[in-house]
Amino acid sequence: MKLRNSIRIGIDLMGSDTAPEAIYQAVLQLLQDGFPAEIVFFVSQDVSGELDASLEIVPCSQVIQMEDDPLVAVRRKKESSLCQGLKYLKEARIDAFVSAGNTGALLLAAKTTLKTLPGIARPAMLALLPTKKKEVAVLDVGANLTIKPHHIVQFAAMGIAYQKSRGIAKPTVGLLNIGAEAKKGTPQLQEAYLKLDAMNREEKIFAGNIEGKDVFNGTIDVLVTDGFTGNVFLKTAEGLAAFILEQLEQHFIEGSFSHLTHELATLRSRMHYAEYPGAILCGVNGIVVKCHGDSSPQTFLHGIKGALRLVEHGFLEKIKSQLRSDL
Amino acid sequence: MKLRNSIRIGIDLMGSDTAPEAIYQAVLQLLQDGFPAEIVFFVSQDVSGELDASLEIVPCSQVIQMEDDPLVAVRRKKESSLCQGLKYLKEARIDAFVSAGNTGALLLAAKTTLKTLPGIARPAMLALLPTKKKEVAVLDVGANLTIKPHHIVQFAAMGIAYQKSRGIAKPTVGLLNIGAEAKKGTPQLQEAYLKLDAMNREEKIFAGNIEGKDVFNGTIDVLVTDGFTGNVFLKTAEGLAAFILEQLEQHFIEGSFSHLTHELATLRSRMHYAEYPGAILCGVNGIVVKCHGDSSPQTFLHGIKGALRLVEHGFLEKIKSQLRSDL
């Protein structure tokens, strides 16, 4: 490991639904605008020759596709951009890795290459969502379809660490459930409730169960749930936000309120989670950001900026110390 | 069972967070405006004396509270408005029953009093939601926290029957999941997918997996899921819609676009599911509509109107014939 001054972020140009060139062009613009980090591009050999040779480019002989089986892909495609990026991260040749590729493969490769942090059995995907007040960190939004109650406590610890890295001194945690009372939900959730409640030793950290409709009131900093429910929650929020804003635009265009386009654009960007730094893969020993597979080049830029912030704010160290104190 | 001409709808004035008097006044107004059905009020003895004696009132000596344990309440409070209403429905003295009381108690009492329909193991709660195109019937939104794959097929049949009763000739069904591919989700969901796919014998009924973000595109008529996920889905949609509309109002007030209040009110009423006829308890031998416990008297009126439509359109008969043809 060589000593170096600037932060280096690796980007997987392959395996998403967006053309590598489109992402590349957007990142190039970002660099020209004075982005304060170095970028390392992981890209297929076919494409790498067309890129500016003065940039740091890692040509890869394989590509993991969206439809690939994660287990098979990670085993057989070690020379893919996805696997090579994680290898660079493991070797500390980059400080963070951003990919919009196959989620299952990214999860599995990150787990085997980087290893999980002490005290973490299951890495989780974390997404940040806007609310009426402060933003809420939701996890897991898709890494683990089924979990055990003690995993929820680990998710809570990771969410707290993340919010602390965003400058929130005492983050509070809510458990996504179908009612506020402790006895609500499945037996697993009732057990998770008790385990989370045990975190309230010295100070109030666990705020109890929270319903989907109350999440957006912004009373909590971290929302914990299993990866299936979290994924449904996130995608429902995204779909409904898009629906409402489209309805409004339609309304306004018909009513010749087109001068409100700017107002709507502001709100749209506030609501759309493309503006957010993608999902963070928490619980592995490295900073990995996952962007949507079907997202615009713009989304990548937010992912890259988000990754930089995580490095700058020592997210990984904060998670480690949080896990030491909590588990 | 006496012969009668007009449709009669029973209303539980007790057990919700709204004062019985407030609901009563709203319903009274509805009747004065020429509502084409008779109303039977089920109400606590304490309150019944204060109501107009020319109306049909059933005084009840017990009340099931929100916090009551459903099993205990249904066993010990047979003289409650909730249990009496269902008894009237069972005896065909009313054609539908509307309540905003304890959901668990309503479910359990409906199951034991009315019995489930042939072929239905688990009654489900159905809610209607707006989308970009047609409205989608979502079930289960809260009756069964955990289910088996074959229950999902029963939910689909009930959803289809409901949409047929709304005039849709060939309703299509989607399975709420975290991705479109057949192998997505838990093993249970994969099995449900195969079972639903077997419905596509003569015509395409099952449209496959559908993600939360795509539900609002309005491509399907029925969305099936377990009661936990469905409840989270519904409440997330409600909470987010309220959040976005509040943000917009704030925006517009600050930007002195207050002339847009009417536009927003229209959209708000389209989005807010208080405008929808509450959740329908499907799969029991009777028409039962459940309104929100914390809802306004206005919500009751929508629930009552919705119940009338279900009676008029022969919802129960349609469900029975759908179940005969599908299961």
Give the closest of B178, B214, B244 to A239, CB-based: B214
Tell me, which fold does domain B123-277 have in CATH? Answer: Isopropylmalate Dehydrogenase (3.40.718)
Residues in chain B: 327
* Stronger pLDDT, A274 or A52, i.e. the higher one: A52
Distance of alpha carbon A106 from alpha carbon A99, whole angstroms: 8
B255:A235 CB<8 A: no
A267:B246 CB<8 A: no
Domain ranges of chain A: 1-118+283-295, 121-280
Q: Could you name the CATH architecture of B1-120+283-327?
A: 3-Layer(aba) Sandwich (3.40)
How many beta-carbon contacts under 8 Å exist across A and B? 134
The yes-or-no answer to whether A1-118+283-295 and A121-280 have a common fold is yes
CATH of domain A121-280: 3.40.718.10
B267:A260 CB<8 A: no
Q: What is the pLDDT of residues A127-153, one digit of tens each?
A: 999 888 889 999 999 999 999 999 999
Residue B264 has a pLDDT of 65
Residue A241 has a pLDDT of 82
Give the closest of B178, B228, B252 to A178, CB-based: B228
Question: How many other C-beta atoms lie within 10 A of the C-beta of residue B121?
Answer: 12
End-to-end Cα spacing for chain A: 31
Q: What is the pLDDT of residues A248-299, one digit of tens each?
A: 777 666 655 556 666 666 666 665 544 466 899 999 999 999 998 777 888 8
Task: Give the neighbor-by-neighbor strand order of the sheet with A222-224.
Answer: A56-60, A38-44, A8-12, A96-99, A287-290, A279-282, A124-129, A136-139, A222-224, A173-176, A206-210
Tell me phi and psi for residue A197, to 5 degrees. -60, -30
Distance from CA of A55 to the nearest CA of B (A): 36
Identify all chain A residues contacting B267, using CB atoms and an 8 Å cutoff.
244, 247-248, 251
Give the closest of B142, B266, B267 to A178, CB-based: B142
Q: What is the pLDDT of residues A216-250, one digit of tens each?
A: 999 999 999 999 999 999 999 888 888 887 777 77
Side-chain-side CA neighbours of residue B9 (13 Å): 26
Tell me phi and psi for residue A173, to 5 degrees. -120, 135
A245, A275, A295 from A266: Cα distances, Å: 11, 11, 19
**Chain A interface disruption, residue of B217, B223, B244, B261, most A CBs within 10 A:** B244
Tell me phi and psi for residue A302, to 5 degrees. -65, -40
Give the closest of B215, B236, B260 to A212, CB-based: B236
Classify B273 as helix, strand or coil.
helix
* A 221-260 → B contacts, CB under 8 A: 228-229, 231-248, 251-252, 255, 257, 260
Q: What is the pLDDT of residues A55-80, one digit of tens each?
A: 999 999 999 998 899 999 999 999 99
ipTM above 0.90, yes or no: no
Whether the Cβ atoms of residue B63 and residue B81 lie closer than 8 Å to each other: yes
Q: Spell out the long-range contacts of A240-246 with Cβ–Cβ below 8 A and sequence spacing 24 or more.
A: A240/B216, A240/B236, A240/B237, A240/B240, A240/B241, A241/A271, A241/A272, A241/B240, A241/B244, A242/A272, A242/B213, A242/B216, A243/B131, A243/B132, A243/B216, A243/B217, A244/B241, A244/B244, A244/B245, A244/B267, A244/B271, A245/A271, A245/B244, A246/B132
Look at residues A203, A184, A206 and name the one whose alpha carbon lies nearest to residue A195. A206
B146:A247 CB<8 A: no
* B 287-306 → A contacts, CB under 8 A: none
Find the closest chain B residue to A141 by CA distance. B178
Instruction: Please state the separation of Cα A172 from the chain's center in Å.
Output: 19
Q: Which helix (H) or strand (E) holds B28?
A: helix B20-32
Distance of alpha carbon B115 from alpha carbon B62, whole angstroms: 23
What's the CATH number of domain A1-118+283-295, 3.30.300.30, 3.30.420.10, 3.40.718.10, 3.40.50.720?
A: 3.40.718.10
Identify all chain A residues contacting B231, using CB atoms and an 8 Å cutoff.
178, 212
Q: Where are the beta strands (DSSP E) in A213-286?
A: 222-224, 279-282
**Chain A interface disruption, residue of B145, B213, B254, most A CBs within 10 A:** B213
Average pLDDT, chain B: 89
Give the closest of B132, B211, B245 to A243, CB-based: B132
Residue B263 has a pLDDT of 63
Highest mean pLDDT among A35-49, A274-288, A312-326, B261-275 belongs to A35-49
Identify all chain B residues contacting A229, using CB atoms and an 8 Å cutoff.
228-229, 232
Residue B269 has a pLDDT of 63
Identify all chain B residues contacting A267, using CB atoms and an 8 Å cutoff.
244, 247-248, 251
Q: What is the pLDDT of residues B121-137, one digit of tens each?
A: 999 999 999 888 889 99
Residue A255 has a pLDDT of 59
B228:A185 CB<8 A: yes
pTM comes to 0.87
Q: What is the pLDDT of residues A148-207, one digit of tens each?
A: 999 999 999 999 999 998 889 999 999 999 999 898 999 999 999 999 999 888 889 999
Whether the Cβ atoms of residue A62 and residue A79 lie closer than 8 Å to each other: yes
Question: How many other C-beta atoms lie within 10 A of the C-beta of residue B291?
Answer: 28
Residues in chain A: 327
Distance from CA of B154 to the nearest CA of A (A): 22
Q: What is the pLDDT of residues A81-107, one digit of tens each?
A: 999 999 999 999 999 999 999 999 999
Beta-ladder partners of A10:
A40, A97
Residue entry with tokens 């008097």:
B21
Distance from CA of B276 to the nearest CA of A (A): 17
Classify B42 as helix, strand or coil.
strand
* B 165-224 → A contacts, CB under 8 A: 176, 178, 185-186, 211-217
Encoded tokens for B238? 């409600």
Identify all chain A residues contacting B263, using CB atoms and an 8 Å cutoff.
251-252, 255, 257
B215:A255 CB<8 A: no
B212:A176 CB<8 A: no
Which residues in chain B land under pLDDT 70?
1-4, 251-277, 326-327
B2, B114, B118, B288 from B91: Cα distances, Å: 10, 9, 19, 14
Distance of alpha carbon B241 from alpha carbon B245, whole angstroms: 6
Look at residues B81, B110, B87 and name the one whose alpha carbon lies nearest to residue B11. B81
CA A319-A323-A327 angle, to 5 degrees, is: 165
Q: Spell out the long-range contacts of A129-134 with Cβ–Cβ below 8 A and sequence spacing 24 or more.
A: A129/A215, A129/A234, A129/A237, A129/A273, A129/A276, A130/A270, A130/A271, A131/A215, A131/A216, A131/A217, A131/A218, A131/B243, A132/A216, A132/A217, A132/A218, A132/B243, A132/B246, A132/B247, A133/A217, A133/A218, A133/A219, A134/A168, A134/A218, A134/A221
